[in-house]
């Protein structure tokens, strides 16, 4: 059989190559792309571990701070069943509640679609909570017929942000030294690793972050922002699938703001650029962070509709 070209040293395809296309399948489009690829070529097991971490990023100096969650967040407690909400009792009905509902609904629909494609594998679920509020649902499907490993996780977290992290996240002046900042964060994150080496790995993450007033400035307004993205990392390139993936991302962005796709595509290209190798990791997608310069309801729909 003829081997397709390798993706080891690829760059992200230019926007001019992409044309919008429609997908009639009720399965989420990113799942459809991977499902099609898993059946077209010789399957081979491929074990690829994945991890997650908090990242605070500023566009001004491109400096990134990694903050270990365990430092400022309470220890997890395993739960035997899913609660209706992980929010604190006083927070029903606001943007936090709406975002939590949307990511939990998205987790259910994505997991159902993955199981429908795999047919043999089933997700195992772990539910956890924290005494002061917050928690999450972790789901993993492993050694299925199509997926080597698929993870779809949601979390709702309360904690205290160190002043250094707040300055990094909001590009605050070094002269401004707030006290510890109470924060809320919620998000959905997924990585899908097909067994077929000719099918790409897919990652997506969408999150909402909100800070309360600093402990030394009660009554100060809350800060909030959205972040996230979807990206594709193949071992072998199939141009038609790359075009399809990017066209779907563009259509999703264009529903909200025509500038989103070119802006977030470039952001993704830059974010995954490996300087010492002079190449980009994967075939790109979209990426955005610290997004709060549009109507909050619009951004809520955008972040949960992708």
CA-nearest of 86, 238, 63, 251 to 156 is 86
By DSSP bridging, strand 273-274 and strand 223-233 are unpaired
Cα distances (Å, whole numbers) of residue 167 to 7, 44, 99, 287? 38, 46, 25, 21
Do 209 and 224 meet the contact criterion of CB atoms below 8 Å apart? yes
**DSSP letter at 259?**
T
Single out the residue of 291, 285, 289, 226 nearest to residue 252, CA to CA.
285
Give catalytic status of residue 203 as yes or no.
yes
Question: Mapping DSSP to helix (H, G, I), strand (E, B) and coil, where does residue 142 land?
Answer: strand
Catalytic residue among 57, 176, 193, 203: 203
Helices 239-254 and 260-271 pack at an angle, to 10 degrees, of 130
Written as one string, the DSSP assignment of 169-205 is HHT--TT-----EEEEEEEEEEEEEESSTTSPEEEEE
Q: Are 224 and 210 in contact (CB under 8 A)?
A: yes
4: number of CA atoms within 13 Å, CB side? 18
Look up residue 122 and give its two tokens. 């089933």
Long-range contacts of 271-280 (CB under 8 A, 24+ apart): 271/229, 272/231, 279/9, 279/10, 279/11, 280/10, 280/11, 280/12
Is the sign of the CA dihedral 10, 11, 16, 18 positive or negative?
positive
Q: Give the integer Cα–Cα distance in Å for 204 and 202.
A: 7
The neighbouring-strand residues paired with 58 are none
Q: Which residues are known catalytic residues?
A: 203
């Amino acid at each position: 059989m003829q081997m397709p070209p390798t993706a080891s040293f690829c760059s992200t395809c230019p926007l001019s190559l992409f044309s919008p296309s429609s997908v009639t399948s009720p399965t989420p489009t990113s799942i459809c792309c991977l499902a099609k690829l898993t059946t077209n070529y010789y399957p081979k097991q491929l074990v690829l571990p994945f991890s997650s971490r908090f990242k605070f990023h500023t566009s001004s100096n491109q400096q990134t701070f990694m903050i270990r969650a365990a430092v400022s967040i309470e220890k997890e407690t395993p739960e035997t069943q899913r609660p209706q909400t992980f929010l604190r009792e006083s927070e029903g009905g606001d943007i936090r509640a709406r975002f939590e509902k949307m990511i939990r609904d998205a987790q259910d629909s994505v997991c159902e679609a993955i199981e429908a494609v795999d047919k043999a594998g089933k997700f195992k679920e772990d539910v956890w909570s924290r005494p002061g509020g917050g928690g999450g649902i972790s789901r993993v499907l492993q050694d299925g017929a199509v997926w080597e490993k698929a993870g779809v996780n949601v979390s709702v977290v309360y904690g205290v942000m160190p002043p250094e992290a707040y300055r990094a996240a909001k590009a605050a002046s070094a002269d401004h030294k707030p006290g510890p900042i109470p924060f809320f964060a919620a998000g959905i994150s997924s990585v899908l690793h097909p067994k077929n080496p000719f099918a790409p790995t897919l990652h997506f993450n969408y999150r909402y972050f909100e800070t309360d007033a600093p402990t030394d400035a009660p009554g100060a307004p809350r800060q909030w922002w959205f972040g996230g993205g979807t990206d594709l990392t193949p071992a072998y390139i199939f141009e038609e699938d790359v075009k399809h993936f990017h066209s779907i991302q563009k259509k999703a962005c264009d529903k909200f703001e025509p500038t989103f796709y070119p802006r977030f595509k470039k952001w993704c290209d830059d974010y995954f650029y490996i300087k010492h190798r002079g190449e980009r990791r994967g075939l790109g997608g979209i990426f955005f962070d610290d997004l709060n310069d549009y109507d909050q309801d619009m951004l809520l729909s955008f972040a949960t509709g992708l």
